[in-house]
Amino acid sequence: MEFFRKETAIDFMGQRRIAVALTLFVIIASLVLLLTRGLSFGVDFTGGTVIEVGYPQSVELGEVRGKLAEAGFDDAQVQHFGTARDVLIRLAPRGESSSAQLSEEVMTVLEAGDSKVELRRQEFVGPQVGKELTEQGGLAMLYTLIGILIYVALRFEYRFSVGAVAALVHDVIVILGVFSLFRIEFDLTVLAALLAVIGYSLNDTIVVFDRIRENFRKVRKGTAVEVVNLSINQTLSRTIITGLTTMLVLAALYLLGGEVIRSFALALLLGVVVGTYSSIYVASLVALAMGVSKQDLMAVKKEGAVDEGP
């Protein structure tokens, strides 16, 4: 089977004005969302306690909330986690640094209502640790981008490396925007997913760049825009097939991997879509806009060799 029996000739770069407008709109919207609404950070970053309990049958959240409020936990956030039988309880950091006592108390309260309730998971993160994680996460992101900037600049050319990094920054902002829009919890695993997205999107960008470099050297005629267009078309079937297989696996993870891994899979699914878009309309466009041209990528001429005119 082949999706593209013949080489496609879609004029990707012809649509670049629309694409730029769309990209700018999405980025600005994401930034506005992030600034006004922010991210709903998980306990990993804010510090506090999360308790996950399982009931043998479905349970009303109002009931659980009521019981907890009676016992003095009126700040508890209660929500279903995956199924109607699982309940996630979030408590803000308290004065004392210990939490076993806290979860013990919560369990006592819940057991008074239903003796069959079971503690499934309990997490406590001190505020200090949370702060450090936020810092480390930001730094990790920064160092990854710098590492990539250097590698791409060495292997290709600095204009490409700026394009690649711009695409990655775009991906991160857009995914964060979506997380902010739908108020999906941002925890440690989502951070890991975000870094994996950087890896994936970069993969995509490099494949396109690689072809652009090759075509600049091989195709004698045509403008830079035409060469870029040709390269994107030549790699299109690969882009789509790899995207599909990766999404296939991620979909399995999203649907079957359990609640803990769900937001991780979601971030990556988003990342595959956004990353594919950005390698065409951010990375390539930025490189073009910065005036990347044939001469920049010609193989270094051997010393003494002179190009004879026709």
Per CB under 8 A, contacts with another protein among 52-71 are 52, 54
Phi, psi (deg, nearest 5) at residue 87 = -125, 135
Q: Which is nearer to another protein, 84 or 129 (CB)?
A: 129
Cα(166)–Cα(135) distance, integer angstroms: 22
Residues 6+ apart with CB under 8 A from 141: 172, 194, 195, 198
From candidates 28, 84, 112, 139, binder to another protein by CB under 8 A: 139
Beta bridge partners of residue 87, listed in sequence order: 53, 80
Q: Which residues of 130-140 are buried (b: 16+ CB within 10 A; e: fewer)?
A: beebeeebeee
- Binding range to another protein, per CB under 8 A, among 33-41, 96-104, 222-230, 291-299: 96-104
From candidates 234, 289, 290, 294, binder to another protein by CB under 8 A: 234
Q: Which pair of structure tokens corresponds to residue 199?
A: 């890896």
- Is 196 a binding residue for another protein by CB under 8 A? The answer is yes
- Is 261 a binding residue for another protein by CB under 8 A? The answer is yes
From candidates 60, 219, 245, 298, binder to another protein by CB under 8 A: 245
- Is 136 a binding residue for another protein by CB under 8 A? The answer is yes
Measured from the CB of residue 282, what is the shortest distance to another protein in angstroms? Answer: 16
Q: Which is nearer to another protein, 28 or 244 (CB)?
A: 244
Cα(157)–Cα(152) distance, integer angstroms: 7
Q: Which is nearer to another protein, 22 or 248 (CB)?
A: 248
- Contact between 106 and 51 under an 8 Å Cβ cutoff? The reply is yes
- Binding range to another protein, per CB under 8 A, among 8-16, 116-124, 178-186, 291-299: 116-124
Residue 39: C-alpha distances to residues 45, 94, 96, 142, 197 (Å)? 11, 22, 26, 19, 18
- Binding range to another protein, per CB under 8 A, among 30-38, 73-81, 252-260, 285-293: 252-260
